[in-house]
Structure formats: C-alpha cells, structure tokens
C-alpha cells in the first residue's frame, strides 16, 4: 500500500480516529526515554495548571458558557 493511499485513508477517518491513529504511530516511533520524557512533560504541565487554578492565576470557564460564547462569535 502506498503512502498516498494510507494518507488518504487516514484523512477520511473521523477526527477522534485520526487522533487515535496519531497516538499509535507516535508510540510506535518513540523510545522508552522519549515516552517517559513526554509523560513527564504532561505531568508537569498538569501540575502547573492545577497550581495556577488553585492560586487564582488561571481562570476556568464553565463548558456551557464557552460553547455559548463560541456559537455567538460564529454567528457574528
């Protein structure tokens, strides 16, 4: 199967399936060190965001508010 055929098939997938494919391909290329590094980076980011939320430095928004805001911007 050619690269072009695989690419076209992948692009025809739903976004969630493309994301799963991307993760699968990434994991197939990653070494144990790269995976550990990536996981450590995500943990550090999550801890940083959690601390920022707890301290009031980062504001959170209700899902309904966000979606309503996006819908009203798209209508304008």
Tell me how far apart the alpha carbons of residues 66 and 71 are, in angstroms, rounded to a whole number.
9
Residue with tokens 């959690």: 50
Q: Among residues of the chain, what percentage have pLDDT more than 90?
A: 74
pLDDT value, residue 17 = 96
> Tell me, what DSSP letter sits at residue 67?
H
| Nearest residue to 22 (alpha-carbon basis) of 36, 11, 34 | 11
Q: What average pLDDT does this structure show over 14-27?
A: 92
Mean pLDDT across the chain:
91
Distance between CA atoms of 51 and 70, rounded to whole angstroms?
Answer: 27
Whether residue 52 contacts residue 58, with contact meaning beta carbons closer than 8 Å, is answered with yes
Residue 33 pLDDT level (bands cut at 50, 70, 90): confident
């Amino acid at each position: 199967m050619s690269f072009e055929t695989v690419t076209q098939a992948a692009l025809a997938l739903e976004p969630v399936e493309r994301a799963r494919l991307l993760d699968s391909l990434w994991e197939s290329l990653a070494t144990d060190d790269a995976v550990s590094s990536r996981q450590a980076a995500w943990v550090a980011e999550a801890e940083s965001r959690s601390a920022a939320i707890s301290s009031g430095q980062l504001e959170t928004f209700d899902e309904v508010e966000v979606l309503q805001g996006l819908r009203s911007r798209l209508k304008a």
